[in-house]
Amino acid sequence: MTTSGTYDFNPSLGKLVLYAFNLAGLRNTSLLVEHFQTARMSANLLLSRWANQGVNLWAVDLVTVPLVQGTATYSVAANTVTVLDAYTALVQNSTETDRIILPISRTEYASYPNKDQQGTVSSFWFDRLLAPTITLWCVPDGTSAQYLKYYRVRQIQDAEMTNANTVEIPYLWLEAFAYALAARLAIIWNPPMATPLKAAADEAYDIAAAQNIEQANMYIAPQLSGYYRP
């Protein structure tokens, strides 16, 4: 048996768009500039939908922010979809000691009577504005933590057809992307195909999403003693 020995299949957005139009019943020779303009918009709106539907593991990264004594609020990059896990880090003698901190809601943060209290950071409030921020409590005191570190889900990079650009998705999600794009294009260019393509797109998404998880056990244990102290 002879196989390719390669693992390079990663079609450009342009090729995926052609395939999506074919799925929607449109042949390559029938496509005009307006078709591709619609496809570009549809592709980026599709990626926006996926960001809303769950955690895209390939778009998770670790952000490190230096802490300043007495400063509670820090800017977050605008391409941040959500913050996952966060912890503070204290570096002494080249050894880093990490301490997990927990998310709180706007309401819980508003209930704190002394928002300027300095001490050991125990919680964070992610304010999801157009220019998002993270606010810490207690406010860093300059001795118990030097850095804030958090894993975030960032926005998937824009889908562009110029220069044979590819879509920032892994191999396992290519089919789901193609079917979902085809379903969106069919709504505009061939409505009778929209419903069957939507069913195929949902099935492909479910299959890909089932693999888009961390393979790890989860343990739940009661907190028997105080962990955080200001």
pLDDT tens column, 9-46 = 999 999 999 999 999 999 999 999 999 999 999 999 99
pLDDT tens column, 120-141 = 999 999 999 999 999 999 999 9
Cβ atoms within 10 A of the Cβ of 190, count?
16
- Cα dihedral sign, 145-56-16-7: positive
Please give the average per-residue pLDDT across 199-210, as a whole number.
96
pLDDT at residue 228 is higher than 60 = no
Strand duo 80-92 + 147-154: pairing? antiparallel
pLDDT tens column, 73-129 = 999 999 999 999 999 999 988 899 999 999 999 999 999 999 999 999 999 999 999
Please give the average per-residue pLDDT across 42-53, as a whole number.
96
Share of the chain above pLDDT 70, in %: 95
Contact 89, 150 (CB under 8 A): no
d(CA 137, CA 109): 8
